[in-house]
Structure 1
Amino acid sequence: MKIINRTVWILSLVSLFADVASEMLYPVVPIYLKEIGFSVLLIGVLEGIAEFTAGLSKGYFGKRSDEKGIRLPFIKAGYFLSALSKPMMAVLTYPWWIFLARTTDRLGKGLRTAARDALLSQNATPQTKARVFAFHRGMDTLGAVIGPVLALTFLYFFPRQYAPLFYYAFIPGMVAVGLIFLLKEKKQPSSTLRKGNFFSFFRYWSIAPVDYKQLVLGLLVFTLFNSSDVFLLLKTKEITGSDTTTILAYIFYNLVYAVASYPLGVLADRFGLKRVFCGGLLVFAIVYLLFALSTTTYLLFIAFFLYGIYAAATEGIAKAWITNLAHDTNTATAIGFYTSGQSICTLLASVVAGVLWTGLNSTVPFIVTALAALGVYIYFRLIPAKNY
C-alpha cells in the first residue's frame, strides 16, 4: 500500500489551491476593510464572529459526517462556500454583507475540516498517519507561500487595486472544488453517538478514550496561550517598521513549514508522535522568547525559521495522534471536538494577548506564552509513555 496514495494526493492538492485563494487575500483584507470604512474595532469583531462560527461548526459537521458515514459531500460543500466567499467580499461593501461573506468563508472551513481529516485518516494506517497528515499540511502550507507571492506581484504592477484580487482568488478556489470530484468513497459505519442538537458533539467527551482526553486537554491548554499569528506580524512590523519585511517574513515561515512537514512526519512515524510533538513545543517556547527579546530583523527571521519547524512538528502530527486514539466510527467527531475547542481557545488567547499588549507592553504576551508552552511540555512528558 502506498503511503501517499491517490486520495491523499488529491486532498493535498485541494488544500493547496484553496490556500492559494485564501492567502492571496491575507495581506490585503485588513487594508481593504479599512479602505471601505471599517474601524480596527469592527475588523476585530468581524474576525471574532467569523472564527467563532468556524469553531463551533467544525464539531457539529464532524459529528454529522460520522452519523451519515460519508465525507465527500461535506468536503465539497465546505470548499465551495469558501471559494464563493472570495468574490462576495468585493461585490458589495455594506458592513452586513462583509460579515456575511466572512462568515460564509469560515462556515465552509467548519463544514469540511473534520470530514477531510477523517478521510485522510481512512487512507492511512497508525504507522503512517504522521506522514500522511504532514504531507497534507505541507501542501496546504505551500499554498500559503504561493498566495501572498501572487498578491504582492499583482499589487506591485497594480498598486492599491485590491478589489480585483477577490475575483482572481475565486479561480484557485474553484480549481480546489473541481479536484474533489475526482474522488470516490465507500460509506463508513455510522457513529455510535446518538443524534442531538447543534452542540451534541460535546457528548463525545463522555465516551472518548482516556488517552484522547489526556491529549486533547493538553492541546487545548496550550492553545489557550497560543494567540493568533497576527501578533507575530504586529511585533515584526513594530521592530522593522516595514510592511514588506513583515509579509516576506510570513512567506518565509510558511516556506520552512511546507518544506519541513514531511521529513518531520517521517521522524514521528519512526520514533514516536509524542517525541516529535514535544520537541516542537520546546522550539515554540524558544520562538516566543526570541520575539519577546528581538530587536533586529536578523533575529526575527531566525524566529520565523524556528516557528516553521515548530508548526511542521506539531500541527499535522497532533491530528495524526488524535485519529490514532479516536474510535473508528467517531473519527470526524473526535477531530471536530478538538478543532472546535482549538478555534474557541485561539479566540480567547488572542483577546488575552491583546489585553496584555495594550495594558502592559508588547513583550509580556510573548513571555507568558513561552512559559505556558514549557508547562504544557512538562505535562506531555509526564503522560505515561505509550506507543504513540
Structure 2
Amino acid sequence: MIPRTVWVLGFVSLLMDVSSEIVQALLPLYLVGTLGASAALVGFVEGFSVAVATTTKLFSGIITDWSGRRKPMVIAGYGLGAASKLIFPVASSIGWIVGAKAIDRVGKGIRGTPRDALIADVTPPELRGASFGLRKSLDTVGGFLGPLVAIGLLFLFGGNVQAVFWVAVVPALLAVALLVVGIEEPVHASPVKKDGPPRVADAVRLGRGVWLTIFVACLLTAARFSEAFLLLKSQEAGFSLTWVPITLVIMHAVYGLTAYPVGRLSDAIGRTGLLGTSLVFLVVAYMVLAHASSVSAFMVGIVLWGLHMGFSQGLLATLIADSAPAALRGTAFGVFNLLTGVTVLAGNVAAGLMWDAYGSYGTFITGASLSAAGAVAFGLIAVQRLRLGSASSAKRT
C-alpha cells in the first residue's frame, strides 16, 4: 500500500500547481497587456525563474542530507510559493513581478528535492515506481485544472486578471496547511545528521549508478523542448487565441492519467523498457507536430507528447531513488534537478534559435533528430547495463 505521506504530498502538489497554473496561464498577457513589457522581457522573466529554481535545488538537497530532516524544508519551500502568490494581485510594476517569480522559484527549488527524498525515505523499493508516479499524476491534475480555472474565472470576473490572481492565493494556502498537519516525518527514515557543514563535494560520492541515471535524464531532457513551443504551434495549427491554453490542459490530462499506471508497471517489469518507449513517443510526437497543419493532427501530437511525459518523468525520479545512497538522497536529487534544469535551458535556447531561423518545422524536426539519437544512445547504455549485471551475477556464482 502506498504510504499516506505520498498521498498527502501528491494532493499538496495538486493544490499548489492549480495556484501556479492560474497565475502562469495569465501572466504573459498581464505583463505585456497591462504592464507594457516586451516579449523579450517575458522570456527573461521565465529564464530567470528556471535558473533560480535549478540552482536552489542543488543546495536544498545537500542541506537536507546534512540536517537529516526533510519536512521543515518542504514546508519552507511551499510556504514561499504561497507567499509569492500574495504579490501578483498587487504588483504595479514589472519589478514586482520579477520579485514574486523569484520568490516562487526559490520556494520551488527548496521544496522539490527534499519532497522527492522524503518519498524515497517512506516508500519500500517495490512501491517506488507507483509512489513517484502517483505524486506526478496528482501534480499534473493541478497542471490541467489550473488553466481551466483561469479561463472560468476570467469569464466570471469580466476579464479582471488581478481578481483572478487573488483567487489563486486560496489553493496555495490550503496546500501549506495540508502539508503542516498531514504528514509526519518518520525519524527512522531520515539520515543521521552529519558532523561539519554541508558540502557540495558530497556530490562526487553519489556513485556510478546515480551519475549514469543523471546522464540518461539529461539525454532525455535535451531532446524535449519547452511546452511554450507547443503553444506557439497551436496557433499555426488553427487554434484561436482564447483556446490556446487547452493545449496544456490536454497534454497534462494525458500525462496525469499515464504516470501512475506506468509507475506501477515499472515496479513489476523494470524501468528501462518503459523509458525507451517514452523516447519513441517523443520522436513520433515531433514528427507529427512538424507536419501538423490542422487542429486534429496537432492534437495527435499533443497526446503523444503527454504519453512521453507520463512514461518518463516519474521513472527518472524513481531511478534516482533506487540508485542513491540513503544518506545522500537529497544531494542526488539536487544534482539531478540542477543538471536537467541547465539542460532544459540550453535546449530551449537552441529551439528558439531554430524557430527564428527555420520556423516550427525546423524546431520540431531538430527535436525528432535529437530524440532519435537519444533513443540509440539510451539503447546502448541499457545493453551495457545488462552486460555489467550479467557479469556481476556470474562472478557471484
TM-score (ref. length: structure 2): 0.92
Match of 1:280 in 2: 278
Alignment of 1:1-388 (within 5 A): 2=1, 4-34=2-32, 35-181=34-180, 182-187=182-187, 188-190=190-192, 195=197, 200-201=199-200, 203-383=201-381, 384-386=384-386
Tell me if the contact between 1:227 and 1:346 (Cα under 8 Å) persists in the aligned partners. Answer: yes
- The 2-side partners of 1:45 and 1:249 are apart by 23
Match of 2:393 in 1: none
- The 2-side partners of 1:86 and 1:264 are apart by 33
Kindly state the Cα deviation for residue 28 of structure 1 after the two structures are TM-superposed. Answer: 0.5
Three-state SS of the structure 2 residue aligned to 1:28 is: helix
Tell me if the contact between 1:66 and 1:191 (Cα under 8 Å) persists in the aligned partners. Answer: yes
Three-state SS of the structure 2 residue aligned to 1:362 is: helix
Match of 2:394 in 1: none
Give the aligned residue type for 2:51. F
Tell me if the contact between 2:57 and 2:113 (Cα under 8 Å) persists in the aligned partners. Answer: yes
- The 1-side partners of 2:203 and 2:363 are apart by 31
Kindly state the Cα deviation for residue 96 of structure 1 after the two structures are TM-superposed. Answer: 2.0
- The 2-side partners of 1:346 and 1:193 are apart by 35
- The 1-side partners of 2:165 and 2:310 are apart by 29
Q: Count residues in correspondence.
A: 381
Kindly state the Cα deviation for residue 133 of structure 1 after the two structures are TM-superposed. Answer: 0.3
- The 2-side partners of 1:191 and 1:246 are apart by 49
- The 1-side partners of 2:323 and 2:195 are apart by 17
Three-state SS of the structure 2 residue aligned to 1:37 is: coil
- The 2-side partners of 1:105 and 1:346 are apart by 19
Kindly state the Cα deviation for residue 15 of structure 1 after the two structures are TM-superposed. Answer: 0.5
Tell me if the contact between 2:67 and 2:194 (Cα under 8 Å) persists in the aligned partners. Answer: no
Kindly state the Cα deviation for residue 269 of structure 1 after the two structures are TM-superposed. Answer: 1.1
1:12-48 CA-to-partner distances (Å, cap 9, x unmatched) read: 1100101110111222011011121111111111111
CA RMSD of the aligned region, Å? 1.7
Kindly state the Cα deviation for residue 241 of structure 1 after the two structures are TM-superposed. Answer: 4.2
1:167-223 CA-to-partner distances (Å, cap 9, x unmatched) read: 111100011000111211134224779745xxx53x344222212222211221332
- The 1-side partners of 2:178 and 2:64 are apart by 20
Give the aligned residue type for 1:301. M
Alignment CA distance shift 1:261-1:121 (3 Å): same
Q: Which has the higher helix share?
A: 2
1:257-278 CA-to-partner distances (Å, cap 9, x unmatched) read: 1111111112111111111111
- The 2-side partners of 1:349 and 1:93 are apart by 33
Tell me if the contact between 2:220 and 2:279 (Cα under 8 Å) persists in the aligned partners. Answer: no
Unaligned runs of 5+ in 2: 390-397
Three-state SS of the structure 2 residue aligned to 1:212 is: helix
- The 2-side partners of 1:334 and 1:193 are apart by 19
Tell me if the contact between 1:191 and 1:329 (Cα under 8 Å) persists in the aligned partners. Answer: no
Alignment CA distance shift 1:342-1:121 (3 Å): same
Unaligned runs of 5+ in 1: none
Three-state SS of the structure 2 residue aligned to 1:288 is: helix
Tell me if the contact between 1:27 and 1:148 (Cα under 8 Å) persists in the aligned partners. Answer: yes
Tell me if the contact between 1:191 and 1:330 (Cα under 8 Å) persists in the aligned partners. Answer: no
Tell me if the contact between 1:86 and 1:166 (Cα under 8 Å) persists in the aligned partners. Answer: yes
Give the aligned residue type for 2:106. L
Name which of structure 1's ranges 93-102 and 131-140 shifts more when overlaid on structure 2: 93-102
- The 1-side partners of 2:194 and 2:215 are apart by 23
1:224-255 CA-to-partner distances (Å, cap 9, x unmatched) read: 33221101111112221412332112211111
Give the aligned residue type for 2:315. I
Alignment CA distance shift 1:193-1:205 (3 Å): farther
Q: Percent sequence identity over matched residues? A: 29
Three-state SS of the structure 1 residue aligned to 2:364 is: helix
Kindly state the Cα deviation for residue 361 of structure 1 after the two structures are TM-superposed. Answer: 1.7
Tell me if the contact between 1:139 and 1:258 (Cα under 8 Å) persists in the aligned partners. Answer: yes
Tell me if the contact between 2:157 and 2:163 (Cα under 8 Å) persists in the aligned partners. Answer: no
Three-state SS of the structure 2 residue aligned to 1:334 is: helix
- The 2-side partners of 1:268 and 1:309 are apart by 15
Tell me if the contact between 1:193 and 1:204 (Cα under 8 Å) persists in the aligned partners. Answer: no
Tell me if the contact between 1:86 and 1:101 (Cα under 8 Å) persists in the aligned partners. Answer: yes
